[in-house]
Structure formats: C-alpha cells, structure tokens
Structure 1
Amino acid sequence: MVEAHFDNPTGNTLTGTWGLRLHYTGELRKNEGGMMMAGVVPSTLHFVPPFQKEYRTAGYCSVGCTREIIPKSGINIVSVMLHSHVAARKLKLRHIRGDKELSPLAEDGRFDFNYQQSRRLSQDIPVLPGDGLITECTYNTEDRSAPTVGGYSTKEEMCLAFILHYPRTELAGCYSMPPVKYFFEALGIREFYGKDMTDIEKAFLEGSVETESLPTTTPKLFHNKPGDELSPEANQKAILALQQAKDYSIVGQIASPKRIFDRLVIKEPQEFRNMSLSQHIHRMPYNDSSFTTKMEEYFYKGLHLTFCRKRDDSLAVKEHIESLPNFQKYENRPGVVCSHKARSQFGLSSSSSGHPIIPKTMFHIVTIFTVVIRILQQGMWQS
C-alpha cells in the first residue's frame, strides 16, 4: 500500500506528477529489512500548550520491550525518518544503553514539515536488547492561543520516528503515552461526574473515546463519472465538497480538543467543579513560564504508559507504566567539528577540484613570513 498526502488548501488548480522508483533483484539478500515505529502514541493525551517558544515532549521505547523482542546479536539501524507536524521545530531519536546515553541515532535541529525525508546513517548503528529509545520533539506554539493535542490532522501533532533496520524482527511499534489518571492529575483533576478513571482509561486505550460518535462508514463527498478527471467544472465541485466537509483540515487553523474533552465534566476538586475538561484546559495559565516548565518536566521525565507491539498487532509485553531510566546525558565532544568547519576556522575553503583555496589576507601573511625567513637566512650566510 502506498499513501500520499497532498496539501492544496486554497483550492488552486495544480498539475503535477509523482511516483516511485523500485529496485529489485532475483537474488535473495543475506538479511531481511524491517521497519519499526517509535515515539508518542497519537492521541489527545499528547498535549502541547500554547504561547510556547520551545516545549518538549517525548515517547519512550522501553528497555523491557527491546530486551524481550530484539535478538541477542542486536539489530542494525540503517536509516531513520523523523516525523511531526507544523508546530515542530526540533526532533531527536535518543539512544540509551545502561546508565549512559549514546550519540543520537538521528537529529534534526531545523525541522521543516514540508521537507521530510528518511536520513541514511553514515554507518549502521547497533541497537541491543535492553537498550532504550527516546523520541524527543520540540514545538513552537507562540502563534497559537489554544492547546494542541495529538492526532492525525496537520492541525494536531505527532512525535514519531520510523526506523529502518536489519535483521527484521517481530517488533512493529515501541512507543508510549501519559497514563490517563496521571495526565488528569497533572491538570489538577481528581474526579469526573458519572465516569470512573478506570473506565476513562479503558476507553482511551481501546479507542472508543475517539470513535463512538463517528459514523461506521464514510459518506462519499462527491460523485465522479467517466471524463470528470479532465473537467474543470467537476474539479471545482470536488474542491467545494472538500472545503465543506466536516473534517476538512487547513494548516494554520488549530484543532479543538476531541469530543471527550467536552463531555467530561469535573466533579473534584471543588474549584473546578462543573467545568468541562475543555473549559478547564483553556483557562490554564500558559503564559506563566514556570507553570509550563513544570508541565513539560512532568510529562517528559515522569510516568509513561509503554507499548511493545508486534507486526501481528499483538503485544509482546503487556502495557506497563514506568519512568524514564536514569542515565548520563550525552554531550558532544569539544573540539570535534566536521572537515568543512575545520577548514573555515583557519580561513580555508575548497575549490570544486578539492584543492584548498587561500584567501588574500592569508596569502599576504604567508608571503611576508616567507620573505622575512629568506632575509634572515641571507644574513646568516653573510656573517
């Protein structure tokens, strides 16, 4: 199956082509490749407050999951595609082994939603059983006045890493989300009217919260007949139908929280009593940096509900609530720079032929130094 996303919110008439180039061979390779996903479960519990210059979230692939399903010899990471939506600015796939953090498997400090690609690693990196992975995303929501929640629309957010590796294992997804009760405790909520926290958690995990008010089939937005693909009139009707559709998404418009946020009414504590969850989260002091910093730390370094999902959609390990492991943070070694930067620091650059080019100021210094040496040498010979 191939899935393509097209974004044309203005409805302008556009013509384009796209496709895939497939390479195949009749010779079986030594190793079979696999793809696994790590990060944050796309759900309304993935919460990003508004008015933030930088706000981090994290999804945890637990050591228990990799210990259970990755072979003793490990797997080798070939490439990583980091994925998020329009509020994301930085993404990183962190690699934990024991009590130390290794260098990131992938990192993008200038993430652009409109330019996403799989990044081939310079060399295959082994991930061993018992290693942990943390998918970290940093968002900028300075232009947003309402919270952004996780979801599949570009108005919502994601934090995922698609990891190509070999040999292939049964592992398909290794990710986490905030435990439901823990999420509400962070918002200062202890109880809702008519709903037990256990029932709410079960509804979130089974997905019934997200889908209970949706139709079982998607109505057809417009009807085509042969020849309509070349008809400007039929094309315009299709555009209007899409724009009027209930779930039509335009980048820049902020998604309101899901229906569950409106239906949940707070009972305890008394100060929030009779407010819906939506009303409550819109009244929180997001302009207070100390408040949002604590929220970030609470969700990032606090408890994670982890999932270890196999390719047949079953769980290799039962979902489990745990904290991030304690580890020594990875630091770039001082003085280590790429060859281009090293040349630049000494005023050197390379020509298209690969030979160094010396700028005029450096050339003059070298010339003067050479002349002085020759004068001194002549003086020594004369004496």
Structure 2
Amino acid sequence: MSREGQPAFSAPVNVEDVERIAAARLPRAALDYYRSGAGEEYTLRNNREAFRRLRIRPRVLRDVSIRDLSTVALGKRVAVPFGIAPTAMHCMAHPDGEVASARAAEKIGAVFILSTLSTRSLEEVAEAAPKATKWFQLYIYKNRNITEDLVRRAERLGYKALVLTVDAPLFGIRWADARNKFHLPPHLKLANFTGPAEADGVRERTTKGSQLQAYVTDLFDQTLTWDALTWLKSITKLPIILKGILTKEDVEEAINHNVAGVMVSNHGARQVDGFPATIEALPEIVKAVCGRCEVFMDGGVTQGTDVFKALALGAKMVFIGRPVLWGLAYDGEEGAKTVLEIIRHEFDFTLALTGCSSIAGIEKEMVVPASFYSLL
C-alpha cells in the first residue's frame, strides 16, 4: 500500500499512467522540452480539452463480433488508423530513441514518421524497422543542398512519403525552454547530419534562451513561399504531405500544388498560444479539401476515443507525439509499444461499443459538440 493508503501503482493502464512514470524519470530539461507549449500553454491545454467537448452518439444492435481496425493511407493498407508523429530527439527519452519508436510502430502496424531533427539517422531507422511504413518529416534549410540530400536518402532507403512542415519558419516562444536554456545533451547529436553546424548546433549557439530556437533561426529558411513546394516536387517523386495546415485558404494553395495530403497540426501547440486546437480546425479543413487529397491530424490524441472522434470528423488517420515519448522513457521500445497497444485497445472497444465493425462504419453524425445535448 502507498503512504496515502491506496494500492501501490503497478503496470500502466492508460497513457496518463505512462506519462506519470515518464515525468518521474526524465531529466527536467528534457521533460520540459517534450511537454511544453508556447506562451501560457492555453492552446496546449485546449488540444486535449477540445476532445472532451465532443460527444459520441453510439448505435446499437449491430454485429460487431468481428472488427477490422485497418485503413488505407496514400494507397497503402495499414493495420491501425493512427501513427507516430514526427517529434525531435527521442534519445533524450531512451538511448535507442527513434529506432525503438520505429520498431514499436512496426510491431503494431502503425505508420512511423521520422523527424529531420532526430537523434537516430534515416539509415539506422530503416535498418532497424525494415517492414514498418515509414514517412520522413522535412524542414527546408537555407542551404538547399542539405535538404536535397535528406530527400535523396529518404527515397533510397524506402521511406514512402515526405511530410513537409510548413508552420515553422521560426520556432515559437516556449518559456520553459528559455528558462532551462535548452540544449542537446553533449552525448547526443542530430543524427541526420554530418556538418557540425547542423549535427551539433543545438548547444553553445547563444548565451541565453533556447539553443534549439537559435538553431532554427540560424539555419531554417524563413523566406519560404509556395514556390518552395514547386522546388521540392521537382527533386522528388515521393508523395508530399503538408504539415501545419489550419485554414481553408491554405488548403486551396495546397491543392493547387497537387499535394498528396495535408496534416492539420498546430505543431503540438508549440508555435503561437492562441491557435485553435487541431480537432477544432479539422472540420474546416475536411470541408475545404472536399476529397481532393487526404487529411491527417495530430495534436492532443491520447486515447482511443480521440482517434474515433477525429475519424468521424473526417481525418483519414491521426498521429500521436508526446505519448510515444512517455512510452520510451517508461520502457524503451516496449514502453512505446505499450502506448500504441493501449490506444489500439481503446479504439477497438470504442468501435465495438458504438456499433462499428470497421472504420467504414464510423459516421459523421456519431460525433457532435457538447452543445448538441444542451437543454434550452
């Protein structure tokens, strides 16, 4: 028994349990980097709270004895309608880092997106999880040769898509990172690079504030316009997904450039405090896309019911970021797999208890705002 007279904590049963364990194990600077958002973190909280403001309208007396959780994304069938979002520097959570995360995704049958700012390389991840469906998240550097090299390597190694982040000409103001003077620990590097400015540059770059913010300010191309997408399409045949879309106006630009998909994302609420929660923005984007490309979403997804709600509102697939990092800190590859298994289990039960035997059975009318039930 614990000191409070409650049963001692054992194996985690939900993502919140895993996060609690991770918070107790991670060094303070790494924990703050992973969990923080921009400004007062209203948008960070709202990413979660907006899901809670949605209600599920279940159907009954339907045969749900056999359930199929699979979906098709970019023409490839995958086992579950969720994947691992691109998040930086997994090795701060566990030495195996992105290799462990990719292996966990492979075992579950989930899509894995590797970040440009990863602490294990494109090559290491491809070798470790050869059967996983892998996409590569891309930033465009001022030195376009660096970006082109990343694209060529991703193609050669069998990554199936490029996820171009379009909401980060700069990184947002994150107070925790500024207080901690966040930097990459000395035993780690950004593994996709050989040049010291790119590989080791997230430390000793400035005398105050976040070293990562200084890195991005120095190296990322802030002059980018839609012409950059034209350039990117000229050097690759991989399908391109634009990550960071929050408005219907940008959807039209994306469609005009023939992208394969858009990802509704507010960068984990880490850019501007006051952006909408991604689940709030999703219906506008789905309506604007009108079936012309695929729609994905990340931000605030921690439960199987969140997956269900996002799919009902029109997402093809959702992506999970911080929970996977908590899983790594909890138990490496097994911990990351535990998180994915928890969400799969919850989603499976949600399907059954709403009368759906597959994703095709999820109807838009099954998810409504809480105000739908207001008594007037």
Q: Normalised by the shorter chain, which TM-score bucket?
A: under 0.3
Give the TM-score normalised by structure 2.
Answer: 0.21
Query: Which has the bigger relative contact order, CA under 8 A and spacing at least 6?
Result: 2
Q: Compare the two structures and name the one with the higher helix fraction.
A: 2
Q: Compare the two structures and name the one with the higher strand fraction.
A: 1
Give the TM-score normalised by structure 1.
Answer: 0.21
